[in-house]
Structure 1
Amino acid sequence: MLTRAITGFFFIAVLIGAHLLGQVVFVSFFSLLGLWCLYEFYGIVRKEEVKPMIFLGILAFAVLSGLIALHCLGVIPFIKVWLFIPFFSLIFILALFQKRALPFNDIGYTLLGITYAGIPFLFFLALGFIKGNFNYYIPLGFLLILWSNDTGAYLAGRSFGKRKLFERISPNKTWEGFIGGVLFAVAIAFNLEQYFGSLTKWEWASMALIIGVFGTLGDLVESMLKRSLGVKDSGHILPGHGGLLDRFDGLLMAAPLVFLFLLMIA
Protein backbone atom coordinates (compact mmCIF):
# COMPACT_ATOMS: atom_id res chain seq x y z
CA MET A 1 0.00 0.00 0.00
CA LEU A 2 2.83 2.40 0.84
CA THR A 3 4.58 1.59 -2.44
CA ARG A 4 1.36 2.28 -4.34
CA ALA A 5 0.90 5.63 -2.57
CA ILE A 6 4.50 6.76 -3.18
CA THR A 7 4.35 5.74 -6.85
CA GLY A 8 1.03 7.52 -7.29
CA PHE A 9 2.36 10.73 -5.72
CA PHE A 10 5.44 10.93 -7.93
CA PHE A 11 3.50 9.87 -11.01
CA ILE A 12 0.99 12.71 -10.54
CA ALA A 13 3.83 15.16 -9.87
CA VAL A 14 5.52 14.17 -13.14
CA LEU A 15 2.27 14.52 -15.09
CA ILE A 16 1.62 17.99 -13.69
CA GLY A 17 5.24 18.97 -14.32
CA ALA A 18 4.93 17.91 -17.96
CA HIS A 19 2.18 20.51 -18.36
CA LEU A 20 4.00 23.31 -16.56
CA LEU A 21 7.38 22.98 -18.30
CA GLY A 22 6.23 24.31 -21.63
CA GLN A 23 4.82 23.09 -24.92
CA VAL A 24 7.88 21.16 -26.11
CA VAL A 25 8.04 19.08 -22.92
CA PHE A 26 4.26 18.63 -23.00
CA VAL A 27 4.02 17.26 -26.55
CA SER A 28 7.18 15.16 -26.17
CA PHE A 29 6.09 13.61 -22.88
CA PHE A 30 2.58 12.62 -23.94
CA SER A 31 3.80 11.36 -27.32
CA LEU A 32 6.21 9.09 -25.43
CA LEU A 33 3.41 7.95 -23.13
CA GLY A 34 1.44 6.94 -26.22
CA LEU A 35 4.43 4.99 -27.54
CA TRP A 36 4.87 3.16 -24.24
CA CYS A 37 1.17 2.29 -23.99
CA LEU A 38 1.33 0.95 -27.54
CA TYR A 39 4.34 -1.17 -26.56
CA GLU A 40 2.42 -2.52 -23.56
CA PHE A 41 -0.57 -3.34 -25.76
CA TYR A 42 1.59 -5.33 -28.15
CA GLY A 43 3.17 -7.12 -25.21
CA ILE A 44 -0.10 -8.39 -23.75
CA VAL A 45 -1.77 -9.41 -27.05
CA ARG A 46 1.27 -11.22 -28.46
CA LYS A 47 0.53 -14.95 -28.68
CA GLU A 48 1.48 -17.77 -31.01
CA GLU A 49 -1.55 -17.08 -33.21
CA VAL A 50 -1.19 -13.27 -32.97
CA LYS A 51 2.16 -11.61 -33.52
CA PRO A 52 1.74 -7.89 -34.09
CA MET A 53 4.55 -6.22 -36.02
CA ILE A 54 5.90 -4.40 -32.99
CA PHE A 55 8.75 -2.51 -34.63
CA LEU A 56 6.71 -1.29 -37.60
CA GLY A 57 3.71 -0.46 -35.43
CA ILE A 58 5.81 1.63 -33.06
CA LEU A 59 7.67 3.23 -35.98
CA ALA A 60 4.42 4.17 -37.74
CA PHE A 61 2.98 5.68 -34.58
CA ALA A 62 6.25 7.48 -33.77
CA VAL A 63 6.19 9.12 -37.20
CA LEU A 64 2.52 10.07 -36.82
CA SER A 65 2.97 11.46 -33.30
CA GLY A 66 6.12 13.31 -34.36
CA LEU A 67 4.30 14.98 -37.27
CA ILE A 68 1.33 15.88 -35.05
CA ALA A 69 3.71 17.33 -32.46
CA LEU A 70 5.48 19.43 -35.10
CA HIS A 71 2.13 20.68 -36.36
CA CYS A 72 0.99 21.61 -32.82
CA LEU A 73 4.25 23.49 -32.30
CA GLY A 74 3.69 25.41 -35.52
CA VAL A 75 6.67 23.91 -37.36
CA ILE A 76 4.73 22.26 -40.21
CA PRO A 77 1.23 22.75 -41.68
CA PHE A 78 -1.38 20.06 -41.07
CA ILE A 79 -1.21 18.86 -44.69
CA LYS A 80 2.24 17.40 -44.01
CA VAL A 81 0.87 15.14 -41.27
CA TRP A 82 -0.31 12.86 -44.09
CA LEU A 83 3.33 11.89 -44.66
CA PHE A 84 2.71 9.11 -42.11
CA ILE A 85 0.68 7.07 -44.66
CA PRO A 86 3.63 5.17 -46.28
CA PHE A 87 4.69 3.87 -42.85
CA PHE A 88 1.24 2.39 -42.32
CA SER A 89 1.35 0.85 -45.80
CA LEU A 90 4.55 -0.96 -44.82
CA ILE A 91 2.58 -2.91 -42.18
CA PHE A 92 0.55 -4.57 -44.92
CA ILE A 93 3.53 -5.04 -47.25
CA LEU A 94 5.72 -6.68 -44.60
CA ALA A 95 3.03 -9.30 -43.97
CA LEU A 96 3.64 -10.60 -47.50
CA PHE A 97 7.16 -11.68 -46.51
CA GLN A 98 6.45 -13.22 -43.11
CA LYS A 99 4.71 -16.40 -44.29
CA ARG A 100 2.28 -16.46 -41.38
CA ALA A 101 -0.83 -18.68 -41.49
CA LEU A 102 -3.13 -15.80 -40.49
CA PRO A 103 -1.36 -12.62 -41.62
CA PHE A 104 -4.37 -10.37 -41.14
CA ASN A 105 -4.48 -11.29 -37.46
CA ASP A 106 -1.02 -9.72 -37.16
CA ILE A 107 -1.99 -6.73 -39.33
CA GLY A 108 -5.25 -6.23 -37.44
CA TYR A 109 -3.68 -6.22 -33.99
CA THR A 110 -0.84 -3.99 -35.17
CA LEU A 111 -3.30 -1.36 -36.39
CA LEU A 112 -5.66 -1.88 -33.45
CA GLY A 113 -2.83 -1.08 -31.05
CA ILE A 114 -2.11 2.21 -32.82
CA THR A 115 -5.79 3.15 -32.87
CA TYR A 116 -6.67 2.06 -29.35
CA ALA A 117 -3.51 2.67 -27.29
CA GLY A 118 -1.66 5.37 -29.22
CA ILE A 119 -3.85 7.83 -31.11
CA PRO A 120 -5.93 8.91 -28.06
CA PHE A 121 -2.76 10.50 -26.64
CA LEU A 122 -2.49 12.62 -29.78
CA PHE A 123 -6.02 13.90 -29.18
CA PHE A 124 -5.04 14.63 -25.60
CA LEU A 125 -1.96 16.66 -26.51
CA ALA A 126 -4.05 18.47 -29.14
CA LEU A 127 -6.25 19.71 -26.27
CA GLY A 128 -3.35 21.92 -25.26
CA PHE A 129 -3.56 23.75 -28.59
CA ILE A 130 -7.29 23.74 -29.28
CA LYS A 131 -7.50 27.47 -28.54
CA GLY A 132 -4.64 28.21 -30.93
CA ASN A 133 -1.64 28.96 -28.72
CA PHE A 134 -0.45 26.47 -26.11
CA ASN A 135 -2.73 26.45 -23.06
CA TYR A 136 -1.98 23.73 -20.52
CA TYR A 137 -5.08 24.49 -18.42
CA ILE A 138 -7.41 22.42 -20.62
CA PRO A 139 -5.41 19.14 -20.69
CA LEU A 140 -4.48 19.59 -17.02
CA GLY A 141 -8.13 20.19 -16.20
CA PHE A 142 -8.96 17.02 -18.16
CA LEU A 143 -6.66 14.98 -15.91
CA LEU A 144 -7.99 16.60 -12.72
CA ILE A 145 -11.54 15.76 -13.78
CA LEU A 146 -10.52 12.21 -14.70
CA TRP A 147 -8.88 11.69 -11.30
CA SER A 148 -11.89 13.27 -9.57
CA ASN A 149 -14.19 10.85 -11.36
CA ASP A 150 -12.09 7.89 -10.21
CA THR A 151 -12.00 9.20 -6.63
CA GLY A 152 -15.72 9.92 -6.51
CA ALA A 153 -16.56 6.52 -7.99
CA TYR A 154 -14.36 4.75 -5.43
CA LEU A 155 -15.84 6.62 -2.44
CA ALA A 156 -19.46 6.33 -3.61
CA GLY A 157 -19.00 2.69 -4.53
CA ARG A 158 -17.57 1.79 -1.13
CA SER A 159 -20.26 3.73 0.73
CA PHE A 160 -23.38 3.00 -1.30
CA GLY A 161 -22.49 0.47 -4.00
CA LYS A 162 -25.04 -2.33 -4.44
CA ARG A 163 -26.04 -2.61 -8.09
CA LYS A 164 -23.32 -4.02 -10.34
CA LEU A 165 -22.45 -2.03 -13.46
CA PHE A 166 -20.73 -4.73 -15.59
CA GLU A 167 -20.19 -7.62 -13.20
CA ARG A 168 -18.84 -10.03 -15.83
CA ILE A 169 -16.07 -7.56 -16.68
CA SER A 170 -15.38 -5.65 -13.45
CA PRO A 171 -17.14 -7.11 -10.39
CA ASN A 172 -16.28 -4.16 -8.14
CA LYS A 173 -17.87 -1.40 -10.24
CA THR A 174 -21.40 -0.34 -9.31
CA TRP A 175 -24.02 2.03 -10.66
CA GLU A 176 -23.82 4.01 -7.44
CA GLY A 177 -20.08 4.40 -7.86
CA PHE A 178 -20.51 5.39 -11.51
CA ILE A 179 -23.08 8.09 -10.66
CA GLY A 180 -21.05 9.31 -7.69
CA GLY A 181 -17.95 9.61 -9.85
CA VAL A 182 -19.72 11.66 -12.52
CA LEU A 183 -21.30 13.99 -9.95
CA PHE A 184 -18.00 14.57 -8.18
CA ALA A 185 -16.25 15.21 -11.51
CA VAL A 186 -18.89 17.80 -12.46
CA ALA A 187 -18.57 19.48 -9.05
CA ILE A 188 -14.81 19.80 -9.50
CA ALA A 189 -15.27 21.03 -13.08
CA PHE A 190 -17.47 23.92 -11.96
CA ASN A 191 -14.60 25.18 -9.82
CA LEU A 192 -12.03 24.91 -12.61
CA GLU A 193 -13.59 27.88 -14.39
CA GLN A 194 -12.70 30.07 -11.41
CA TYR A 195 -9.06 28.97 -11.23
CA PHE A 196 -8.23 27.91 -14.79
CA GLY A 197 -10.53 30.03 -16.94
CA SER A 198 -10.12 28.99 -20.63
CA LEU A 199 -13.65 27.53 -20.75
CA THR A 200 -17.00 28.60 -19.35
CA LYS A 201 -18.63 26.76 -16.45
CA TRP A 202 -21.03 24.89 -18.71
CA GLU A 203 -18.16 23.86 -21.01
CA TRP A 204 -16.12 22.52 -18.07
CA ALA A 205 -19.24 20.74 -16.76
CA SER A 206 -20.00 19.23 -20.17
CA MET A 207 -16.39 18.11 -20.41
CA ALA A 208 -16.76 16.46 -17.00
CA LEU A 209 -19.88 14.58 -18.12
CA ILE A 210 -18.02 13.22 -21.15
CA ILE A 211 -15.01 12.22 -19.06
CA GLY A 212 -17.16 10.71 -16.30
CA VAL A 213 -19.19 8.56 -18.67
CA PHE A 214 -16.62 7.60 -21.27
CA GLY A 215 -13.69 7.49 -18.86
CA THR A 216 -15.56 4.80 -16.93
CA LEU A 217 -16.41 2.95 -20.13
CA GLY A 218 -12.76 3.18 -21.17
CA ASP A 219 -11.78 1.57 -17.88
CA LEU A 220 -14.25 -1.22 -18.55
CA VAL A 221 -13.01 -1.71 -22.11
CA GLU A 222 -9.43 -2.15 -20.89
CA SER A 223 -10.67 -4.57 -18.21
CA MET A 224 -12.47 -6.50 -20.95
CA LEU A 225 -9.24 -6.61 -22.98
CA LYS A 226 -7.18 -7.93 -20.06
CA ARG A 227 -9.86 -10.42 -19.03
CA SER A 228 -10.07 -11.80 -22.57
CA LEU A 229 -6.29 -12.23 -22.62
CA GLY A 230 -6.02 -13.63 -19.09
CA VAL A 231 -3.65 -10.93 -17.79
CA LYS A 232 -3.89 -8.88 -14.59
CA ASP A 233 -1.87 -5.80 -15.55
CA SER A 234 -0.72 -4.32 -18.84
CA GLY A 235 2.83 -3.93 -17.47
CA HIS A 236 4.99 -3.39 -14.40
CA ILE A 237 6.54 0.02 -14.94
CA LEU A 238 4.63 1.57 -12.00
CA PRO A 239 5.20 -0.37 -8.75
CA GLY A 240 1.86 -1.10 -7.12
CA HIS A 241 -0.11 0.24 -10.09
CA GLY A 242 0.77 -1.99 -13.03
CA GLY A 243 1.38 -0.52 -16.47
CA LEU A 244 0.78 2.87 -18.03
CA LEU A 245 -2.09 1.47 -20.09
CA ASP A 246 -3.80 0.57 -16.80
CA ARG A 247 -3.46 4.15 -15.56
CA PHE A 248 -4.69 5.83 -18.75
CA ASP A 249 -7.54 3.50 -19.70
CA GLY A 250 -10.11 6.25 -19.07
CA LEU A 251 -8.22 8.73 -21.23
CA LEU A 252 -8.27 6.37 -24.22
CA MET A 253 -12.03 6.68 -24.67
CA ALA A 254 -12.61 10.18 -23.29
CA ALA A 255 -9.82 12.28 -24.87
CA PRO A 256 -10.97 11.99 -28.53
CA LEU A 257 -14.57 12.79 -27.54
CA VAL A 258 -13.59 15.79 -25.41
CA PHE A 259 -11.48 17.10 -28.29
CA LEU A 260 -14.41 16.66 -30.68
CA PHE A 261 -16.76 18.43 -28.26
CA LEU A 262 -14.43 21.42 -27.82
CA LEU A 263 -13.82 21.56 -31.57
CA MET A 264 -17.56 21.70 -32.25
CA ILE A 265 -18.23 24.55 -29.81
CA ALA A 266 -15.14 26.59 -30.75
Structure 2
Amino acid sequence: MKTRAITGFFFVVVMLGSFFAGAAVYSIFFGLLAIVCLQEFYGLLKKSGSSPNVATGLINGAYTYAAFAALFHWDVYPEAQTIHKLVFLLVPAMLAVFVQELYRNTDKPFQNIAYTFLGIIFTIVPFSFFHALGFVTNTGFSAHIPMGFLLMLWANDTGAYLVGRQFGRAKLFERHSPKKTWEGFIGGIIISAIAGYVLSIYFKELEWKQWVSMAIIISVIGTLGDLVESMFKRSINVKDSGGILPGHGGLLDRFDGLLLAAPMVFTYLYFIFN
Protein backbone atom coordinates (compact mmCIF):
# COMPACT_ATOMS: atom_id res chain seq x y z
CA MET A 1 0.00 0.00 0.00
CA LYS A 2 2.86 2.40 0.83
CA THR A 3 4.57 1.74 -2.51
CA ARG A 4 1.27 2.24 -4.31
CA ALA A 5 0.66 5.57 -2.55
CA ILE A 6 4.18 6.89 -3.23
CA THR A 7 4.03 5.88 -6.88
CA GLY A 8 0.58 7.41 -7.29
CA PHE A 9 1.67 10.70 -5.69
CA PHE A 10 4.70 11.21 -7.90
CA PHE A 11 2.81 10.09 -11.00
CA VAL A 12 0.08 12.68 -10.36
CA VAL A 13 2.68 15.40 -9.67
CA VAL A 14 4.53 14.70 -12.91
CA MET A 15 1.29 14.51 -14.87
CA LEU A 16 -0.08 17.79 -13.53
CA GLY A 17 3.32 19.42 -14.05
CA SER A 18 3.14 18.59 -17.75
CA PHE A 19 0.06 20.80 -18.07
CA PHE A 20 1.86 23.89 -16.80
CA ALA A 21 5.06 23.45 -18.83
CA GLY A 22 3.56 24.69 -22.09
CA ALA A 23 2.12 23.24 -25.28
CA ALA A 24 5.32 21.54 -26.48
CA VAL A 25 5.98 19.66 -23.23
CA TYR A 26 2.28 18.75 -22.98
CA SER A 27 2.33 17.26 -26.49
CA ILE A 28 5.58 15.35 -26.00
CA PHE A 29 4.65 14.02 -22.56
CA PHE A 30 1.31 12.55 -23.57
CA GLY A 31 2.81 11.29 -26.80
CA LEU A 32 5.33 9.29 -24.76
CA LEU A 33 2.53 7.94 -22.56
CA ALA A 34 0.63 6.88 -25.68
CA ILE A 35 3.65 5.02 -27.07
CA VAL A 36 4.24 3.20 -23.77
CA CYS A 37 0.56 2.16 -23.71
CA LEU A 38 0.88 0.86 -27.28
CA GLN A 39 4.02 -1.06 -26.34
CA GLU A 40 2.20 -2.62 -23.38
CA PHE A 41 -0.69 -3.58 -25.66
CA TYR A 42 1.65 -5.34 -28.08
CA GLY A 43 3.45 -6.97 -25.17
CA LEU A 44 0.20 -8.46 -23.90
CA LEU A 45 -0.59 -9.79 -27.37
CA LYS A 46 2.82 -11.43 -27.62
CA LYS A 47 2.25 -13.14 -24.26
CA SER A 48 -0.94 -14.61 -25.66
CA GLY A 49 0.92 -16.07 -28.63
CA SER A 50 0.06 -13.43 -31.23
CA SER A 51 2.73 -11.74 -33.32
CA PRO A 52 1.92 -8.10 -34.14
CA ASN A 53 4.45 -6.01 -36.05
CA VAL A 54 5.77 -4.28 -32.93
CA ALA A 55 8.51 -2.07 -34.38
CA THR A 56 6.44 -0.95 -37.38
CA GLY A 57 3.39 -0.48 -35.16
CA LEU A 58 5.32 1.71 -32.69
CA ILE A 59 6.74 3.82 -35.52
CA ASN A 60 3.30 4.24 -37.06
CA GLY A 61 1.81 5.01 -33.66
CA ALA A 62 4.41 7.66 -32.89
CA TYR A 63 4.00 9.22 -36.31
CA THR A 64 0.19 9.17 -36.14
CA TYR A 65 0.22 10.99 -32.81
CA ALA A 66 2.91 13.46 -33.93
CA ALA A 67 1.20 14.26 -37.25
CA PHE A 68 -2.11 15.15 -35.65
CA ALA A 69 -0.48 16.93 -32.71
CA ALA A 70 1.44 19.07 -35.20
CA LEU A 71 -1.84 20.30 -36.72
CA PHE A 72 -2.65 22.08 -33.47
CA HIS A 73 0.83 23.56 -33.16
CA TRP A 74 0.29 25.11 -36.58
CA ASP A 75 -2.04 27.56 -34.82
CA VAL A 76 0.53 28.14 -32.07
CA TYR A 77 3.36 28.70 -34.58
CA PRO A 78 1.78 30.32 -37.70
CA GLU A 79 5.07 30.20 -39.62
CA ALA A 80 4.62 26.42 -40.03
CA GLN A 81 2.17 26.85 -42.89
CA THR A 82 2.76 23.47 -44.54
CA ILE A 83 2.72 21.31 -41.42
CA HIS A 84 -0.67 19.82 -42.30
CA LYS A 85 0.96 17.96 -45.18
CA LEU A 86 2.69 15.68 -42.67
CA VAL A 87 -0.62 13.84 -42.27
CA PHE A 88 -0.40 12.52 -45.84
CA LEU A 89 2.84 10.69 -45.02
CA LEU A 90 0.67 8.38 -42.93
CA VAL A 91 -0.32 6.62 -46.16
CA PRO A 92 3.10 5.06 -46.93
CA ALA A 93 3.73 4.54 -43.21
CA MET A 94 0.56 2.48 -42.85
CA LEU A 95 1.25 0.55 -46.06
CA ALA A 96 4.55 -0.56 -44.54
CA VAL A 97 2.61 -2.71 -42.06
CA PHE A 98 1.23 -4.78 -44.96
CA VAL A 99 4.50 -4.91 -46.88
CA GLN A 100 6.54 -5.98 -43.86
CA GLU A 101 4.27 -8.99 -43.35
CA LEU A 102 5.32 -10.29 -46.79
CA TYR A 103 8.81 -10.86 -45.39
CA ARG A 104 7.74 -12.53 -42.14
CA ASN A 105 7.32 -16.28 -41.97
CA THR A 106 4.15 -16.53 -39.86
CA ASP A 107 1.01 -18.65 -40.03
CA LYS A 108 -1.49 -15.80 -39.60
CA PRO A 109 -0.21 -12.72 -41.44
CA PHE A 110 -3.52 -10.87 -41.55
CA GLN A 111 -4.14 -11.49 -37.87
CA ASN A 112 -0.75 -9.87 -37.22
CA ILE A 113 -1.70 -6.91 -39.43
CA ALA A 114 -5.07 -6.58 -37.72
CA TYR A 115 -3.57 -6.61 -34.22
CA THR A 116 -0.94 -4.06 -35.27
CA PHE A 117 -3.61 -1.60 -36.40
CA LEU A 118 -5.87 -2.44 -33.45
CA GLY A 119 -3.13 -1.33 -31.08
CA ILE A 120 -2.90 2.04 -32.82
CA ILE A 121 -6.68 2.48 -32.80
CA PHE A 122 -7.02 1.38 -29.18
CA THR A 123 -4.20 3.52 -27.71
CA ILE A 124 -2.78 6.16 -30.05
CA VAL A 125 -6.08 7.48 -31.43
CA PRO A 126 -7.61 8.07 -27.96
CA PHE A 127 -4.47 9.87 -26.76
CA SER A 128 -4.56 12.00 -29.92
CA PHE A 129 -8.12 13.03 -29.04
CA PHE A 130 -7.06 13.70 -25.46
CA HIS A 131 -4.18 15.86 -26.70
CA ALA A 132 -6.65 17.78 -28.87
CA LEU A 133 -8.61 18.76 -25.74
CA GLY A 134 -5.82 21.23 -24.98
CA PHE A 135 -6.68 23.13 -28.17
CA VAL A 136 -10.43 22.57 -28.48
CA THR A 137 -11.33 26.11 -27.40
CA ASN A 138 -9.85 27.53 -30.65
CA THR A 139 -7.93 30.13 -28.62
CA GLY A 140 -4.54 28.41 -28.54
CA PHE A 141 -3.31 26.03 -25.91
CA SER A 142 -5.17 25.79 -22.62
CA ALA A 143 -4.43 23.11 -20.04
CA HIS A 144 -7.67 23.55 -18.13
CA ILE A 145 -9.88 21.18 -20.12
CA PRO A 146 -7.50 18.19 -20.38
CA MET A 147 -6.51 18.73 -16.75
CA GLY A 148 -10.17 18.87 -15.76
CA PHE A 149 -10.77 15.70 -17.79
CA LEU A 150 -8.23 13.75 -15.77
CA LEU A 151 -9.38 15.21 -12.45
CA MET A 152 -12.96 14.14 -13.18
CA LEU A 153 -11.78 10.73 -14.38
CA TRP A 154 -9.84 10.23 -11.15
CA ALA A 155 -12.81 11.51 -9.13
CA ASN A 156 -15.02 8.94 -10.86
CA ASP A 157 -12.57 6.11 -10.17
CA THR A 158 -12.18 7.13 -6.53
CA GLY A 159 -15.91 7.61 -5.99
CA ALA A 160 -16.75 4.30 -7.64
CA TYR A 161 -14.18 2.48 -5.51
CA LEU A 162 -15.23 4.03 -2.19
CA VAL A 163 -18.98 3.81 -2.74
CA GLY A 164 -18.74 0.34 -4.25
CA ARG A 165 -16.63 -0.92 -1.37
CA GLN A 166 -19.03 0.47 1.23
CA PHE A 167 -22.43 -0.10 -0.38
CA GLY A 168 -21.82 -2.28 -3.43
CA ARG A 169 -24.20 -5.21 -3.81
CA ALA A 170 -25.49 -5.46 -7.39
CA LYS A 171 -22.79 -6.46 -9.88
CA LEU A 172 -22.37 -4.15 -12.86
CA PHE A 173 -20.69 -6.52 -15.32
CA GLU A 174 -19.50 -9.54 -13.38
CA ARG A 175 -18.29 -11.48 -16.41
CA HIS A 176 -15.56 -8.93 -17.15
CA SER A 177 -15.05 -7.12 -13.83
CA PRO A 178 -16.40 -8.95 -10.75
CA LYS A 179 -15.64 -6.09 -8.33
CA LYS A 180 -17.60 -3.38 -10.14
CA THR A 181 -21.11 -2.68 -8.82
CA TRP A 182 -24.04 -0.51 -9.87
CA GLU A 183 -23.79 1.35 -6.56
CA GLY A 184 -20.15 2.15 -7.24
CA PHE A 185 -20.96 3.16 -10.82
CA ILE A 186 -23.63 5.63 -9.66
CA GLY A 187 -21.40 6.88 -6.85
CA GLY A 188 -18.61 7.53 -9.32
CA ILE A 189 -20.92 9.58 -11.55
CA ILE A 190 -22.08 11.71 -8.59
CA ILE A 191 -18.56 12.36 -7.29
CA SER A 192 -17.31 13.17 -10.80
CA ALA A 193 -20.24 15.55 -11.38
CA ILE A 194 -19.44 17.34 -8.11
CA ALA A 195 -15.82 17.65 -9.23
CA GLY A 196 -17.05 19.08 -12.54
CA TYR A 197 -19.11 21.71 -10.76
CA VAL A 198 -16.14 22.70 -8.57
CA LEU A 199 -13.95 22.97 -11.67
CA SER A 200 -16.48 25.33 -13.27
CA ILE A 201 -15.85 27.81 -10.44
CA TYR A 202 -12.17 28.13 -11.35
CA PHE A 203 -12.03 27.19 -15.04
CA LYS A 204 -14.28 29.51 -17.03
CA GLU A 205 -13.87 27.97 -20.49
CA LEU A 206 -17.14 26.11 -19.95
CA GLU A 207 -20.35 26.76 -18.04
CA TRP A 208 -21.10 24.59 -15.03
CA LYS A 209 -23.72 22.60 -16.97
CA GLN A 210 -21.13 21.76 -19.61
CA TRP A 211 -18.54 20.72 -17.03
CA VAL A 212 -21.10 18.48 -15.32
CA SER A 213 -22.19 17.03 -18.67
CA MET A 214 -18.55 16.35 -19.45
CA ALA A 215 -18.19 14.61 -16.07
CA ILE A 216 -21.15 12.34 -16.80
CA ILE A 217 -19.74 11.41 -20.22
CA ILE A 218 -16.37 10.63 -18.63
CA SER A 219 -17.95 8.50 -15.91
CA VAL A 220 -20.22 6.47 -18.18
CA ILE A 221 -17.93 6.04 -21.19
CA GLY A 222 -14.82 5.80 -19.01
CA THR A 223 -16.35 2.88 -17.12
CA LEU A 224 -17.08 1.17 -20.44
CA GLY A 225 -13.45 1.72 -21.43
CA ASP A 226 -12.35 0.13 -18.17
CA LEU A 227 -14.59 -2.87 -18.88
CA VAL A 228 -13.29 -3.20 -22.45
CA GLU A 229 -9.70 -3.28 -21.20
CA SER A 230 -10.69 -5.85 -18.55
CA MET A 231 -12.33 -7.93 -21.29
CA PHE A 232 -9.13 -7.76 -23.32
CA LYS A 233 -6.91 -8.82 -20.40
CA ARG A 234 -9.26 -11.65 -19.40
CA SER A 235 -9.30 -12.92 -22.98
CA ILE A 236 -5.53 -13.47 -22.76
CA ASN A 237 -5.45 -14.40 -19.03
CA VAL A 238 -3.38 -11.41 -17.86
CA LYS A 239 -3.96 -9.43 -14.66
CA ASP A 240 -1.89 -6.26 -15.25
CA SER A 241 -0.85 -4.64 -18.51
CA GLY A 242 2.68 -4.05 -17.22
CA GLY A 243 4.85 -3.18 -14.24
CA ILE A 244 6.11 0.29 -15.05
CA LEU A 245 4.26 1.78 -12.05
CA PRO A 246 5.11 -0.15 -8.85
CA GLY A 247 1.92 -1.05 -7.03
CA HIS A 248 -0.27 0.13 -9.91
CA GLY A 249 0.60 -2.13 -12.83
CA GLY A 250 1.02 -0.66 -16.30
CA LEU A 251 0.09 2.64 -17.89
CA LEU A 252 -2.62 0.96 -19.93
CA ASP A 253 -4.30 0.01 -16.65
CA ARG A 254 -4.16 3.60 -15.44
CA PHE A 255 -5.59 5.12 -18.62
CA ASP A 256 -8.20 2.53 -19.57
CA GLY A 257 -10.99 5.00 -18.74
CA LEU A 258 -9.46 7.58 -21.09
CA LEU A 259 -9.38 5.29 -24.12
CA LEU A 260 -13.08 5.51 -24.95
CA ALA A 261 -13.97 8.68 -23.05
CA ALA A 262 -11.48 11.08 -24.65
CA PRO A 263 -12.88 10.80 -28.22
CA MET A 264 -16.46 11.22 -26.92
CA VAL A 265 -15.59 14.25 -24.79
CA PHE A 266 -13.70 15.90 -27.64
CA THR A 267 -16.68 15.34 -29.96
CA TYR A 268 -19.02 16.90 -27.38
CA LEU A 269 -16.76 19.93 -26.86
CA TYR A 270 -16.07 20.36 -30.58
CA PHE A 271 -19.73 21.08 -31.24
CA ILE A 272 -19.85 23.46 -28.27
CA PHE A 273 -16.94 25.57 -29.52
CA ASN A 274 -17.88 25.32 -33.19
* TM surpasses 0.5: yes
CA distance in 2 between counterparts of 1:66 and 1:150 reads 29
SS in 2 for 1:128: helix
Letter in 1 for 2:22: G
User: Secondary structure at 1:239's aligned position in 2?
Assistant: coil
Equivalent residue, structure 1, for 2:193:
186
Q: Does 1:7 align with 2:13?
A: no
Aligned equivalents of 2:49, 2:194: Cα separation in 1: 47
Q: Give, in angstroms, the shift of residue 82 of structure 1.
A: 2.6
Q: Which runs of 4+ in 1 moved over 4 A?
A: none
Given residue 95 of structure 1, which amino acid in structure 2 is its aligned partner? E
> What TM-score, normalized to structure 1?
0.97
CA RMSD of aligned residues (A): 1.2
Please report how far the alpha carbon of residue 49 of structure 1 lies from its aligned counterpart in structure 2 after TM superposition: 4.8
The counterpart of 1:158, out of the listed 154, 165, 172, is 165
Matches within 5 A, 1:138-177: 138-177=145-184
Whole-angstrom distance in 1 between the partners of 2:83 and 2:129 = 17
Pairwise CA distance, 1:140: 0.1
Structure 1: 5+ residue runs without aligned partners? none
Q: Offset of 1:77 from its aligned partner?
A: 4.5
State the Cα distance separating 1:18 from its structure 2 match.
Answer: 0.5
CA deviation profile, 1:119-139 (whole Å, cap 9, x unmatched): 111100100001120000000
Is it true that 1:32 corresponds to 2:32 in the alignment?
A: yes
Kept in 1: contact 2:48–2:236 (CA 8 A): no
Deviation of 1:258 (Å): 0.3
- 1:94 deviation in Å? 1.1
Can you give the 5+ residue segments of structure 2 that lack an aligned partner in the other structure?
Answer: 75-79
Q: Matches of 2:11 and 2:36 in 1, distance apart?
A: 15
What is the rounded CA distance, in whole Å, between the counterparts of 1:64 and 1:48 in structure 2? Answer: 26
8 Å CA contact 2:241–2:251 kept in 1: the answer is yes
CA distance in 1 between counterparts of 2:155 and 2:84 reads 34
Cα distance in 1 between the residues matched to 2:47 and 2:26: 34
Equivalence for 1:252 = 259
Of 172-181 and 188-197, deviating more is 188-197
Does 1:86 pair with 2:95?
Answer: no
- Tell me what 2:60 maps to: 60
Q: Deviation of residue 79 (structure 1)?
A: 4.8
**Residue of structure 1 equivalent to 2:44:** 44
Kindly indicate whether the alpha-carbon contact (under 8 Å) linking 1:71 and 1:77 is maintained by their aligned counterparts in 2. yes
Normalised by the length of structure 2, the TM-score is 0.94
Superposed counterparts of 1:161-240, under 5 Å: 161-240=168-247
Q: CA deviation at 1:62?
A: 1.1
**Alignment coverage as a number of residue pairs:** 266
**Equivalent of 2:115, from 90, 105, 109?**
109
Letter in 2 for 1:256: P
Give SS of 2:135's match.
coil
SS in 2 for 1:46: helix
Q: Report the residue type matching 1:40 in the other structure.
A: E
* Whole-angstrom distance in 2 between the partners of 1:36 and 1:141: 23
Residue 106 of structure 1 aligns to a residue whose secondary structure is helix
* Residues in 1 aligned to 2:135 and 2:94: alpha-carbon distance in whole angstroms: 26
User: Could you tell me how far apart the structure 2 residues matched to 1:48 and 1:223 are?
Assistant: 15
Mapped partners of 1:116, 1:90: distance in 2: 19
